[in-house]
A and B are shown apart, each in its own frame.
Chain A
Amino acid sequence: MRGHFWKGLLHGIPIALGYLSVSFGFGILAVRSGLAAWQATLISAACVTSAGQVAGVEILAAGGGLAELALVQLTVNLRYALMSLSLSQKRAESFTLPKRLLASFGITDEIFAVCAAEPVPLTFSYMAGVILISAAGWIVGTALGAGAGEILPERISAALGIMLYGMFIAIVVPTAKRRRGVLFAALAAASLSVLARIFIPSLSAGFSVILCTLIAASAAALLFPKGGEDA
């Protein structure tokens, strides 16, 4: 199990590095919206979700109500339900309920991506490793951004913004190369996402991801059912 934990920590390093720069930006935004640095850091520690936190801070700044806050969190973060359901299918037998309750806390887009790419059943130790280092990066980055202002030159922090997407590409491409169904699902989702951006600009990013995913993954499941291809 120790081996799993260290492997998780190792796999979490690129996530933590990417999170450092993203949460740094969140920290700056939150303080500009009128929150104290400790409040911004506390939000990051309690939520660990980029889009949801930004939406939440915007509502707080605009003086919105609790119902609106809850509904927006539900919408922006609904994709996590799909990811959690997907991960629930590859939990190891040793994953007891208390451990599941703990690990659920850290299912983010990137942590999900890394866990989904694992070829073996998921253990608590592995997930704990990935989550611990990633959440640490997320919280520390927020505190740095909120407390110390911009410590990195604009040019560098701008370039770091691409790291998370680079990770996503590195996860999708090798599998898409080998499995036609995955290639189809990724191309369909990417095309739909571009079309949504052009033709329905009012659609929020969270909703767009939900819609594109549902359509693309359904179509892929119909056209390339599992077992009917090479992988």
Chain B
Amino acid sequence: MNFFLALTVMAGVTYLIRMLPFAFFRKKIESRFIRSFLDYVPYAVLAAMTIPAVFSSAGGIVPSAVGAALALLLAWFDLPLIVVATAAALAAYLTGFFF
């Protein structure tokens, strides 16, 4: 398969999926159900992507679980994104020496 043809298809399909709803959907949605649905989508997407994938994200399951637990704790206390993310990686890294 020609590389540039493949690249064009990959990039084109990906772009259209993102662009069509964002660029051309103009009016405000009236339906209370759909507005609520769209409001909940981001949190559902992130939760589905994080669980269970996070438990194998930092090598072994123990370092990953320790990192995830620390992230949950720090997020509960409203710490900034970068602090939560870095602390999780650091905890996973340090735990990795023991497990």
Q: Could you tell me the distance between the alpha carbons of A164 and B84 in the complex, rounded to whole angstroms?
A: 10
Interface size on A, residues (CB 8 A): 100
Tell whether, in the assembled complex, residue B32 and residue A227 are in contact, meaning their CB atoms are under 8 Å apart: yes
Given contacts A49-B14, A109-B49, A171-B81, contact A89 B29 (CB under 8 A): yes
| Segment from A1-9, A52-60, A132-140, A141-149 that makes contact with B | A52-60
Task: Give the CA-CA distance A152 to B80 in the complex, in Å.
Answer: 26
Contact A186/B43 with A101-B19, A170-B84 known, Cβ cut-off 8 Å: yes
Interface SS of chain B: helix
When distances are taken between beta carbons in the complex, the residues of chain A under 8 Å from B71 are 162, 165-166, 169-170
A-B contact pairs, 25 of them (CB 8 A): A60-B6, A63-B1, A66-B1, A73-B13, A81-B21, A84-B18, A85-B38, A101-B19, A104-B23, A114-B81, A158-B63, A158-B92, A161-B59, A162-B88, A163-B88, A164-B57, A168-B49, A171-B42, A173-B76, A182-B40, A212-B44, A213-B45, A216-B48, A221-B36, A226-B35
B interface residues (Cβ-Cβ under 8 A, vs A): 1, 3, 5-7, 9-11, 13-15, 17-23, 25-26, 28-29, 32-54, 57-59, 63-64, 67-68, 71-72, 74-76, 78-82, 84-90, 92-93, 96
